[in-house]
């Protein structure tokens, strides 16, 4: 209304307020009225009158007297209230009965809240009357408004010792009572907490923050320390986790319902520290109910709870991961032990076999058994691994929320224990071999897919993929050569999967093998057509032409002197093939072939399916008398077959289930001074027999060493090739960079040892592919 007006100013002075003013008298009346108000008797009082009292006092510069007077009145009133209503209901504290203590606390808190409500409503009313003072006097004097002054007074006169201690004590008592599992009346507690929250001791530090919260947190800490120890002592792991989770929930609801939100975080921290962090490792490894047991008994709920609780604390996830890894590793060790236990069994069986030998029975059967058993163990190993993997994946999916970190921990653990079994590449290959050979019969395509997919999962854990490749190649070659594969589609499916996993390079040779088989089919058709036109040799021949680089067999053929008819037959094919493809060389691999031969025994003629070597051995007896005896060395001279192969084939002919030859002296093993004769008395219920060469499916120690050596050799070449490839590209590189790059590139196939890489680099320097730079730390590529 600040108006500047034009025109003639004819402003009259305002009339004087009242006639006379007496500060003391006005105050006396006002003070009287204020007391009335404090006694809830305002309805007889005129607001206008009281407001005018205050107004006049402020106008007449008596604001200070008014302000201080009101404060004194309020303080007096508060003292009275505290004396009359709060102090009489102090909790006695000495009671042993917690129920009674709780009730006392309840009453006390209610009374306090009552006083607070009373005080606030009084202050609102006073604030209204003294509004003019607040507007004019308090501002210029820079003292708090009367309402705020009221809060200070309340703080000073009510929230003081001993009342304050009683408040904190009563609230803590109620909380403890509730924690012990009883129910309390929450609203008075909340009422008082609110009071404490709205009172500031210092700017933005409430009484709650200063007094109640620290005490509460201290109390909680003690409580939960004891609680944690108690739970650990009395509960098994699932129960512990359930209780702990319940505690978290109840504390959360507590802070939510009647404590301040600001307490939630520190309180939660206390819970985490005392219930979780302190006991994590103990709980997870409790012998009969910890993680292991939960996984064993498929307690998905408990595991999920475990995960939920563990991810709350920073040390939780690592602990969980460690335990999981330990669990997997332990189970893995068991599986590994079970399979390596076979070695022990082998030895035992050997001993038993020897004993049986002396008794003149048993013969070669234990060997076959042991081989079968070893194969079974290999298969069992893979199945066990798959089962274990399934189990943990299921747990991971259902309980661990598909946590990425947990997954990688699991993968690591699997990788570790699979790697720790040095035979795992062989076992996995054997498993696939077995499945593709017979296991897939009668299964639908989808099931086949599922089995192969799972196998690929295990395959992924292998570090030494090149060893696997070697075995797989061997097994695949045998399958292809003997036509043992059940389904071409399944084979190709597996190949496709490997290709996806390891790239084109990995499967190139495998695919080449398939290609060779197909080409050979075509060649044989053409050859048979060719034979029809010319004179055919006396032996029917079926040939598979293998590209030497694709197939795992050694290029140099194992020596074997063919009988003249055999040699003629071979010659015939050789001529045919070389006429179609010039510039190629054919090498015969008798060790891989087999033959059907009709043998005339005394009783009947039986058709025998034997290996090519065995055929050659048998043919040595063809033109001899029935009882003629050939010694081992004679046989060797005639056939020029290597010792090992000769022994193996003689064993299968003379010592296995069907004894086509007689060994002198009889026995299970073939020695170099044994001699043999044709067993004309042989009888068989079947017209056609398959004499399988005794060969162990799982490699023996010596063979494994050989494979190992070959793998190492191949690795050397690969490492060198890789180094050259990289250096050709970069021209110049430091030693460490080169090592890193080589490791990275080879990691898909195997895990190269830096020391070996270094040796290869030295080798390449010698061969002058590379040269060392002057700084002794880097290399140049020499074109």
Q: How far is CA 691 from CA 594, 599, 603, 614, 622, in A?
A: 10, 13, 19, 9, 18
Q: Collapsing DSSP states into helix, strand and coil, what is residue 9?
A: coil
Q: Please, is 727 exposed, middle or buried when counting C-beta atoms within 10 Å of its C-beta (0-12, 13-18, 19+)?
A: buried
Judged by beta carbon, residue 131 or residue 190, the one nearer other proteins is 131
The encoded tokens of residue 137 equal 């006097």
Pairing of strands 688-690, 605-611: parallel
Taking the C-alpha atoms of residue 777 and residue 453, their distance in angstroms, rounded to an integer, is 45
Taking the C-alpha atoms of residue 444 and residue 422, their distance in angstroms, rounded to an integer, is 33
Question: In residues, how long is the chain?
Answer: 783
Judged by beta carbon, residue 58 or residue 82, the one nearer other proteins is 58
Judged by beta carbon, residue 43 or residue 582, the one nearer other proteins is 43
Judged by beta carbon, residue 12 or residue 142, the one nearer other proteins is 12
Q: Please, is 529 exposed, middle or buried when counting C-beta atoms within 10 Å of its C-beta (0-12, 13-18, 19+)?
A: exposed
Cα angle, residue 154 at apex, residues 152 and 156 outer, rounded to 5°: 70
Judged by beta carbon, residue 47 or residue 717, the one nearer other proteins is 47
Where helices occur in 400-503 by DSSP H, the ranges are 404-420, 424-434, 445-461, 465-481, 488-502
Judged by beta carbon, residue 6 or residue 142, the one nearer other proteins is 6
Taking the C-alpha atoms of residue 87 and residue 602, their distance in angstroms, rounded to an integer, is 123
Give me the least distance between CB of 42 and other proteins, in Å please.
5
Where helices occur in 199-315 by DSSP H, the ranges are 207, 213-234, 237-257, 261-271, 280-284, 291-296, 300-310
Taking the C-alpha atoms of residue 85 and residue 266, their distance in angstroms, rounded to an integer, is 34
Give me the least distance between CB of 200 and other proteins, in Å please.
25
| DSSP class of 747 | T
Judged by beta carbon, residue 46 or residue 282, the one nearer other proteins is 46
Give me the least distance between CB of 139 and other proteins, in Å please.
14
Judged by beta carbon, residue 21 or residue 514, the one nearer other proteins is 21
End-to-end CA distance of the chain: 99
Give me the least distance between CB of 17 and other proteins, in Å please.
8
Give me the least distance between CB of 123 and other proteins, in Å please.
11
Give me the least distance between CB of 79 and other proteins, in Å please.
24
Judged by beta carbon, residue 131 or residue 530, the one nearer other proteins is 131
Taking the C-alpha atoms of residue 570 and residue 618, their distance in angstroms, rounded to an integer, is 19
Q: Collapsing DSSP states into helix, strand and coil, what is residue 781?
A: strand
Could you count the other beta carbons within 10 Å of the beta carbon of residue 27? 19
User: Cis before residue 517, ω within 30 degrees of 0?
Assistant: no
Using CB under 8 A, list all residues that contact other proteins: 1, 3, 5, 7, 9-15, 42-48, 51-52, 55, 121, 124-125, 128-129, 131-132, 135
The per-type count for the chain, helices as H runs and strands as E runs, is 31, 11
Give me the least distance between CB of 24 and other proteins, in Å please.
22
Judged by beta carbon, residue 56 or residue 173, the one nearer other proteins is 56
Give me the least distance between CB of 19 and other proteins, in Å please.
13
| DSSP class of 78 | H
- For residue 187, which of 176, 174, 169, 172 has the smallest C-alpha distance? 174
Judged by beta carbon, residue 48 or residue 774, the one nearer other proteins is 48
CA 123 to chain CA centroid, nearest Å: 64
Judged by beta carbon, residue 44 or residue 582, the one nearer other proteins is 44
Q: Collapsing DSSP states into helix, strand and coil, what is residue 582?
A: coil
SS3 of the chain: helix, strand, coil, percent, to 5: 65, 5, 25
Give me the least distance between CB of 72 and other proteins, in Å please.
22
Taking the C-alpha atoms of residue 222 and residue 173, their distance in angstroms, rounded to an integer, is 14
- For residue 717, which of 513, 517, 549 has the smallest C-alpha distance? 549
Give me the least distance between CB of 155 and other proteins, in Å please.
24
Give me the least distance between CB of 13 and other proteins, in Å please.
7
Judged by beta carbon, residue 120 or residue 629, the one nearer other proteins is 120
Judged by beta carbon, residue 42 or residue 304, the one nearer other proteins is 42
Tell me phi and psi for residue 15, to 5 degrees: -75, 155
Give me the least distance between CB of 270 and other proteins, in Å please.
42
Taking the C-alpha atoms of residue 102 and residue 179, their distance in angstroms, rounded to an integer, is 12
Judged by beta carbon, residue 147 or residue 765, the one nearer other proteins is 147
Give me the least distance between CB of 234 and other proteins, in Å please.
55
Give me the least distance between CB of 237 and other proteins, in Å please.
58
Taking the C-alpha atoms of residue 673 and residue 675, their distance in angstroms, rounded to an integer, is 7
Taking the C-alpha atoms of residue 17 and residue 316, their distance in angstroms, rounded to an integer, is 77
Taking the C-alpha atoms of residue 99 and residue 105, their distance in angstroms, rounded to an integer, is 10
Give me the least distance between CB of 10 and other proteins, in Å please.
6
Q: At what angle do helices 445-461 and 365-399 cross, to 10 degrees?
A: 90
Which residues have C-beta within 8 Å of that of residue 718, sequence separation ≥ 6? 466, 746, 749
Cβ–Cβ < 8 Å for 199, 151? yes
The encoded tokens of residue 500 equal 């996806």
Judged by beta carbon, residue 122 or residue 421, the one nearer other proteins is 122
Judged by beta carbon, residue 149 or residue 502, the one nearer other proteins is 149
Taking the C-alpha atoms of residue 528 and residue 322, their distance in angstroms, rounded to an integer, is 65
Judged by beta carbon, residue 13 or residue 360, the one nearer other proteins is 13
Give me the least distance between CB of 43 and other proteins, in Å please.
5
Give me the least distance between CB of 12 and other proteins, in Å please.
5
């Amino acid at each position: 209304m600040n108006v500047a007006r034009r025109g003639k100013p004819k402003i009259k002075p305002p009339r004087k307020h009242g006639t006379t003013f007496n500060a003391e008298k006005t105050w006396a009346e006002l003070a009287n009225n204020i007391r009335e108000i404090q006694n809830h008797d305002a309805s007889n009082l005129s607001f206008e009158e009281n407001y005018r009292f205050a107004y006049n006092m402020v106008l007449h510069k008596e604001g200070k007297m008014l302000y201080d007077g009101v404060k004194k009145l309020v303080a007096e009133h508060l003292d009275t209230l505290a004396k009359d209503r709060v102090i009489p209901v102090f909790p006695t504290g000495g009671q042993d009965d917690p129920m009674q203590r709780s009730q006392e606390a309840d009453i006390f808190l209610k009374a306090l809240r009552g006083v607070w409500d009373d005080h606030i409503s009084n202050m609102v009313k006073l604030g209204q009357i003294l509004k003019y003072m607040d507007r004019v006097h308090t501002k210029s004097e820079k003292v708090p408004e009367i309402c705020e002054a009221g809060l200070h007074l309340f703080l000073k006169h009510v929230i003081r010792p001993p009342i304050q201690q009683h408040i904190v004590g009563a609230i803590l008592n109620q909380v403890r009572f509730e924690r012990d599992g009883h129910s309390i009346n929450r609203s008075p507690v909340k009422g008082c907490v609110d009071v404490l929250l709205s009172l500031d001791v210092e700017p933005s530090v409430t009484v709650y923050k200063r007094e109640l919260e620290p005490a509460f947190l201290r109390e909680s800490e003690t409580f939960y320390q004891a609680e944690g120890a108690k739970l650990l002592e009395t509960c098994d792991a699932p129960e512990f986790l359930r209780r702990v989770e319940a505690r978290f929930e109840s504390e959360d609801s507590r802070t939510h319902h009647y404590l301040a939100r600001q307490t939630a975080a520190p309180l939660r921290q206390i819970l985490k520290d005392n219930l979780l962090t302190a006991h994590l490792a103990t709980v997870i490894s409790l012998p009969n109910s910890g993680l292991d047991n939960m996984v064993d008994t498929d307690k998905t709920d408990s595991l999920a709870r475990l995960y939920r609780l563990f991810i709350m604390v920073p040390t939780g996830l690592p602990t969980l991961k460690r335990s999981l890894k330990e669990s997997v590793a332990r189970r893995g060790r068991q599986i590994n032990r079970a399979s390596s236990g076979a070695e022990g069994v082998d030895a035992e069986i050997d001993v038993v076999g020897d004993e049986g030998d002396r008794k003149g029975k048993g013969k070669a059967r234990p060997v076959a058994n042991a081989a079968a058993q070893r194969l079974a163990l290999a298969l069992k190993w893979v199945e066990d691994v798959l089962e274990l993997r399934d189990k943990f994946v299921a747990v991971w999916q259902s309980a661990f929320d598909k946590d990425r970190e947990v997954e990688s921990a699991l993968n690591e653990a699997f990788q570790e224990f699979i790697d720790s079994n040095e035979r795992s590449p062989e076992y996995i290959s054997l498993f696939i071999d077995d499945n593709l050979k017979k296991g897939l019969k009668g299964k639908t395509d989808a099931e086949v897919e599922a089995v192969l997919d799972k196998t690929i999962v295990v395959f992924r854990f292998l570090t030494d993929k090149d060893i696997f490749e070697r075995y797989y190649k061997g097994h695949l070659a045998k399958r292809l050569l003997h036509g043992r594969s059940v389904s071409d589609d399944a084979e190709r499916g597996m190949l496709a999967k490997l290709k996806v996993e390891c790239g084109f390079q990995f499967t190139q040779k495998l695919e080449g093998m398939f290609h060779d088989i197909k080409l050979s089919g075509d060649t044989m058709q053409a050859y048979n057509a060719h034979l029809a036109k010319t004179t055919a040799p006396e032996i029917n021949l079926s040939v598979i032409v293998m590209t030497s680089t694709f197939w795992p067999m050694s290029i140099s053929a194992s020596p074997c002197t063919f009988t003249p008819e055999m040699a003629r037959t071979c010659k015939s094919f050789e001529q045919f093939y070389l006429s179609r493809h010039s510039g190629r060389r054919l090498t015969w691999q008798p060790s891989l072939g087999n033959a059907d031969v009709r043998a005339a025994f005394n009783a009947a003629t039986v058709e025998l399916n034997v290996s090519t070597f065995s055929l050659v051995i048998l043919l040595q007896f063809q033109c001899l008398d029935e009882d003629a005896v050939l010694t081992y060395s004679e046989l060797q001279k005639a056939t020029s077959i290597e010792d090992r192969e000769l022994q193996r084939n003689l064993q299968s002919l003379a010592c296995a289930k069907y004894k086509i030859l007689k060994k002198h002296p009889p026995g299970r093993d073939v020695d170099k001074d044994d001699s043999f004769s044709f067993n004309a008395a042989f009888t068989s219920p079947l017209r056609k027999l398959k004499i399988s060469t005794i060969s162990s499916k799982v490699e023996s120690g010596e063979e494994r060493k050989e494979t190992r050596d070959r793998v190492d050799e191949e690795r050397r070449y690969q490492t060198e090739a890789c180094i050259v490839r990289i250096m050709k590209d970069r021209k110049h590189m430091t030693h460490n960079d080169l090592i890193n790059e080589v490791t990275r590139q080879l990691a898909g196939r195997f895990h190269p040892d830096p020391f070996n890489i270094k040796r290869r680099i030295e080798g390449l320097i010698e061969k002058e592919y590379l040269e060392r730079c002057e700084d002794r730390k880097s290399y140049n590529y020499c074109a």
